Amino acid sequence: MLFLPVPESVARPLRLLVITYYWPPSGGAGVQRSLKFVKHLPQLGVEPTVVTVDPAQAAYPVLDDSLAADVPAGVRVIRTGTFEPFDSYKRLTGKQVPYGGFVGESKTSRVQQLFKFVRGNLFIPDARRGWNRFVLDAVAGLLAAGEQFDAVLTSSPPHSTQLIGLELKRRFGLRWLADMRDPWTDIYYYKELNHLPLARWLDARYERQVLEQADAVLVTSPHTKRLFLGKSAKIDPAKIHVLPNGYDEDDFQEPSQPPQHELLITHTGTISETYHIELLLSACAECRRRHPDVPLRLRFVGKASEGIQRQAREAGLQEAAEFIPFVPHDESVQYLLRSTVLLMAIPDVANNRGILPGKVFEYLATSKPILCVGPAGSDADELLQACGAGRALPYDAYAQMLETLETLAAQWRINPNLDLPGGHPERYSRRHLTGELAELVRK
């Protein structure tokens, strides 16, 4: 379905209030979805106003100033204060603000374990709830000044942001779209937060209220929709819409440049021992031994845990594996385009069949083969197979991993450019997906 801008002569622009904690200069995966929606909405007859946190008071795991270039010049961004406990965490541990659930930290000190417990039991649903009252005051001020909005979209995580939408609907009757990038009480690290029974009950109650009372719920995978439908018989299945993440065509204007002198496998983003790629690393080492004429190398761009780096050394890949810390998003895309094959891994955790990382769509936009480690039959596996980009290799499928690598090596000998024919899958472009969001706002 093609979505076109609505001419001003036909209809006034719809006005959408977008409430999101993560916004430039925040970096990482969490900021991409709301940012790209806002980038494309004005072309589709929807005028967004963004309410976010003041970066001077925010707790961002990573920064990426380059993303500010994606904010359209005419978009109003309102920044508010906040009250959060993360300054104490940094002072006591000397570590940067943790990712959700302290994911990617292979070892945690007693102080970190204490913070996990405090976060899981005193900050429900999460430690950024102190931002909510500042947002509610800001929106109340806008409405009191006579501003009108056709709908409000709340983006999470942090899931405490959804409580803002809940309160705005109750207090002002605003039409509310709850955009939930991840599961809530089913997120794979949930048990690590050591909730007491009362905290679990309260968190589940908040989740249920949001799902029941939002006018529309947006999720990124079919499995997440099934999880949410199981929370209450009062939830109308028709109001939960699967709107996956995607890739921005503007980010992929430069040509692919796979290296000619090596078979380079690149992973971008966060990865830890939970992703169980140790057998794949061993298969890479064996492939190098069997085929010394094919210079196979691995490159990890982003947060790779100490455990992953140790596994690479133990597999004998110390000379063949490169680890590059976090880089800005535009630079990350360049690393993808300068690769032969892309590596994706799904964490080996509960409910992982519905994990569909946002980066998979950027991987697809490069038209490169994707080497995926994860559960067969998952949403990610079905997507890769439907696009002809690869398939998921189960965590224990060493023989299948080695066979896949040897096939890639044989193809590389013939032609070092293994890019796939067909180009970008247009249905996963951010522009197309924002068109679907604009239709939901319009309805």
**pLDDT at residue 443 is higher than 90:** no
The full set of domain ranges for the chain reads 14-84+122-247+429-442, 249-414
Question: What SS3 class is residue 304?
Answer: strand
Q: What CATH topology corresponds to 249-414?
A: Rossmann fold (3.40.50)
Asked if 211 and 231 touch (Cβ cutoff 8 Å), the reply is yes
Q: What percent of the chain has pLDDT over 90?
A: 80
* Tokens found for residue 63: 């920064």
pLDDT for the residue 5 = 52
Cα(252)–Cα(382) distance, rounded to whole angstroms?
24
Can you list the positions of beta strands (E) in 42-133? 46-53, 76-80
SS3 of residue 196 by DSSP: coil
Q: pTM, whole model, 2 decimals?
A: 0.88
Cα dihedral 329/332/336/337 (nearest 10) = 80
Yes or no: say if 240 and 217 are a contact pair by the CB < 8 Å rule.
Answer: yes
DSSP state of 299: E
Answer whether 88's CB lies under 8 Å from 112's CB: no
Which tops the pLDDT comparison, 114 or 305?
305
Q: Would you say how long the chain is, in residues? A: 443
Top CATH class, 14-84+122-247+429-442: alpha beta
Q: Do domains 14-84+122-247+429-442 and 249-414 have the same CATH topology?
A: yes
What does the mean pLDDT of the chain come to? 91
Query: In this model, does residue 98 exceed pLDDT 70?
Result: no
Q: Is the pLDDT of residue 226 over 50?
A: yes
